[in-house]
Amino acid sequence: MTQTQRPIPVMQPWTRDFWKATKQGKLLIQHCDNCNSNIFFPKKVCPECWSDHLDWQEASGKATVYTFTTMLDMVEPKFMGDLPYVIAMVDLKEGIRMTTRIVNCNPDDVEIGMNVEVVFEEVSPECSLPMFQPADETLRLASPDSEDGEAVAAESETGMSPDAYQTIIYEIGGNNDAVCTITLNRPDKYNAINRRMAAELIDAFRRVRDEASVGVVVLAGAGEKAFCTGGDLEIFPSLAEHQNSLNWLSHEGLDVQRAISSCEKVVICKINGHCLAGGLEVALACDLLYVKESAKMGTTEINMGVLPGWGGTARLPRSMPIFRAREIIFSGRKDYTAREMYDMGLLTRVFKDDEFEAQFEKVVNNIASKKPVALRMGKEIMARSADGCDMETALAVERNGIQWLTYAPDIQKMMDQFRAAPDQLTQSQKKSNIASDAT
C-alpha cells in the first residue's frame, strides 16, 4: 500500500496523545472518569456530562465488523493506488465504533460479524492509522516477512481469479485447449484501460503462462466499436499528481507490456474498430496483429502535448520503417486505416470485414495446432534476435534453442518411434506440411 500520499489525520490538541500512542502500537480509548463512559470520537470535554476529567485507556484491539464496503471506483487520486480496499465500521469490545480499513486479507473474505484485531499502518513519523485484520489467521495473507510472502501478497492483493475479473474475460478453448482468449470487456467505454483492467491484464497474462495446454493467446476487444482506445479518461484526473502519473506509466503501463511480451505463449492481437493510443501500444507488445479492414488506428498523445508512454514511442520505430513511425507519432492522427498501416509496414495482415472472423479463426487454429514448446522457443529466439544482438550471437541462440527443442521430452517421444521406423518420419512430416498449407 502506498503510504507516502495518504492524508494525515487532522489532529486537535486533545487527540495528540491518541496518535502518539499509535506509534507504540497502542489503541487508546478516551474515558471519562466522572461518568465512566468511553468516548469516540475523542472530545475536549465528555459529551455525556461535560466533565474535563478525561483520560486514556488502552483498548484490547479486538473488534467485530459492523458493516463494510469494498472501494472499487470513484475515489480521490491519492487513494487510487490502493484500490481495491475495504472500508469498515468495527465495534470494539470496549463499546465504541470506529471507521477503519480491513487489511491483510482478501476483500471477498470480509463479512459482517467477522472478528478482527488492530494493526497499525504508518502514515507519517507522528502517527499510524489503526486498521484491522482478521482474527482468524487462516484468513490473513501471508505475512510479508515470510519466505515467499512477497509473491503471495502481490498475487492476492488484487484478490484475483478469472471468475472475479470485472473488466476482462479469460477463456480457454480451441482444440486440445490450446487457445486462451483474453477479451478486454468494457465495450461501452471503448474497452479503455482503467487501473482495474491493467491489474487484471497483468494477472491474466501471468496466469496463462502456467496453462500447459495453451500455445496461443488471443487478445481481443469486446463489442464492435473498438479493440481499445487506451487509458480510461477517468484515470486522467489522477495523473495530475506526479507520483501517480509516474506509477501509471511505470507500474501499470510497463507491467502490462511486460506481462504480454514476456508471456511465453504466442500472443495474437485481434483488432477491430478503434485501436488508439494506449490500445495500439498494448497491441504493439503482441506477436501478431490481424486487423479488420474498417479499423481505425493511431497515437493521439501528442495532441495533449505528451507522447505514447506505454511503449509506443519505443516500439513503433522498431516495428516498422522509422520514417513512417515518426509520422504516426508526430501527426497525432487517429484515422489511419488498417490498409494504410499495413502499407506502411506495421501489421501482420488485414482482412476484409465480412471475412475477418473466418480468416482470423483459420490463422489462430493453424498456429494453435503447433507444439506450445516450439512456439515458445520461437518467440524467444526471434525476440532476442530482433532486439539487435550481433548475428553470431543470434545464430548461436537459434542453433542451441533448436537443439534443445529437438531433445525436449515430447519431441523425443516422437523420435523414439522414428528411430524404430525411419521412413515414417519423412511421411509424417509431409502429411503435416500439407495439412498446414491447407488451412
Q: Does 9 bind another protein (CB under 8 A)?
A: yes
DSSP 249-272: IIIIIHHHHHHHHT-SSEEEEEE-
C-beta of 98 vs 346, nearer to another protein: 98
Give the gyration radius of the chain's Cα atoms.
Answer: 28
Burial bucket for residue 130 (CB in 10 Å: 0-12, 13-18, 19+): buried
Q: Which among 43, 372, 57 is positioned nearest to 212, based on CA atoms?
A: 372
Min dist CB 255 to another protein, Å, is 22
Beta bridge partner(s), residue 194? none
Applying CB under 8 A, among 14, 56, 66, 418 the residue interacting with another protein is 66
With binding defined as CB under 8 A, does residue 71 bind another protein? yes
Stretch binding another protein (CB under 8 A), from 75-83, 198-206, 244-252, 324-332: 75-83
DSSP H stretches of helix in 186-337 = 195-208, 242-247, 254-261, 278-284, 312-319, 322-331
Tell me the closest approach of the beta carbon of residue 404 to another protein, in angstroms. Answer: 46
Q: How far is the CB of 231 from another protein (least distance, A)?
A: 17
* Catalytic residue of the set 293, 301, 357, 361: 301
| Residue 131 one-letter amino acid | M
Residue 70 binds another protein (CB under 8 A): yes
Catalytic position from the list 94, 281, 357, 392: 281
Site for another protein in 261-300 (CB under 8 A): none
Q: Which three cell numbers stand for residue 432?
A: 503435416
- The C-alpha cell 499510524 sits at 128
- Residue closer to another protein, measured from CB, 74 or 358: 74
Among 15, 158, 229, 257, indicate the residue that binds another protein (CB under 8 A). 15
Distance, CA of 213 to CA of 175 (rounded, Å) = 10
Is 99 strand, coil or helix? Answer: strand
Give the closest residue to 177 by CA, choosing from 368, 22, 305, 316: 368
56 is a site residue for another protein (CB under 8 A) = no
Q: Give the shortest CB-172-to-another protein separation in angstroms.
A: 24
Which of the ranges 81-89, 157-165, 319-327, 393-401 carries the binding residues for another protein, by CB under 8 A?
81-89
What residues pair up with 130 in beta bridges, in sequence order? Answer: 120
| Beta-strand relationship, 274-276 and 266-271 | unpaired
Mask for 237-266, x = binds another protein (CB under 8 A): x--x--------------------------
123 near another protein (CB under 8 A): yes
Q: Which three cell numbers stand for residue 376?
A: 515458445
Q: Does 11 bind another protein (CB under 8 A)?
A: yes
Q: Can you read off the three cell numbers belonging to residue 17?
A: 496523545
CB of residue 131 to another protein, shortest distance in Å: 8
Does the annotation mark 281 as catalytic? yes
Answer for which of 49, 72, 151, 415 binds another protein (CB under 8 A) is 72
Instruction: Report the Cα–Cα distance between both ends of the chain, in Å, rounded.
Output: 50
- The site map against another protein for 23-52 (x = CB under 8 A) is -----------------xx-----------
Query: Please, which residue, 2 or 57, has the CB nearer to another protein?
Result: 2
Q: Is 301 a catalytic residue?
A: yes
Bond prior to 41 in cis (omega within 30° of 0): yes
CB of 104 vs another protein, minimal distance in Å: 15
Q: What does the H/E/C string look like for 383-427? A: HHHHCCCCHHHHHHHHHHHHHHHHCCHHHHHHHHHHHHCHHHHHH
Residue from 74, 212, 358, 391 binding another protein (CB under 8 A): 74
**Nearer to another protein by C-beta: 238 or 257?**
238
* C-alpha span between 254 and 256 (Å, rounded): 6
Distance CA 80, CA 231 (A): 14
Q: Does 187 bind another protein (CB under 8 A)?
A: no
Distance from CA of residue 229 to its chain's centroid? 17
Stretch that binds another protein, among 78-86, 263-271, 274-282, 361-369 (CB under 8 A): 78-86
Asked whether position 100 contacts another protein by CB under 8 A, the answer is yes
DSSP element (H, E) containing 342: helix 338-343
129-168 binders of another protein (CB under 8 A): 129, 131, 166
Question: Is residue 299 a contact partner of residue 332, using CB atoms and an 8 Å limit?
Answer: yes
Active site residues: 281, 301
Binding site for another protein (CB under 8 A): 6-12, 15, 40-41, 66-77, 79, 82, 85, 87-89, 97-101, 112, 123, 129, 131, 166, 237, 240
